[in-house]
Amino acid sequence: MKNITLALDERIIREGRKYAAKHNLTLNSLVRQLLERTVDEDSQNWLEECFQLMDQVKVPKNVPKWKREDLYRA
C-alpha cells in the first residue's frame, strides 16, 4: 500500500478524528474508506441506484411544501 500526503484544514482534521473515534476508526481508515467508496465502480452503481429509487417515489399531494426559511427554524 502506498502513502500519500494530504493538506486539510485543522478543523476538518479535528472533526474528522472525532467522527472516526465515534465509529471505532482512525482518521486514516476513514479517509481510505471514503475514497474507496467514491472511486469504486460498485459504489458508484449503488449511488446511481439510490438516485433512481428516489426519483420513483410518489409524494402525496397533501404533503406541505417546505420553504428555505422553514429549514432555518428547525
CA 40 to chain centre: 15
The residues, ordered by sequence, that sit 6+ positions from 37 with a Cβ below 8 Å of its Cβ are 43
Q: Are 16 and 30 in contact (CB under 8 A)?
A: yes
pLDDT value of residue 74: 58
Looking up cell 467522527, which residue turns up?
19
- DSSP assignment of 1-36 equals ---------HHHHHHHHHHHHHTT--HHHHHHHHHH
pTM over 0.95: no
Print pLDDT tens along the chain (74 aa).
899 999 999 999 999 999 999 999 999 999 999 888 888 776 667 778 888 998 898 878 888 888 888 878 75
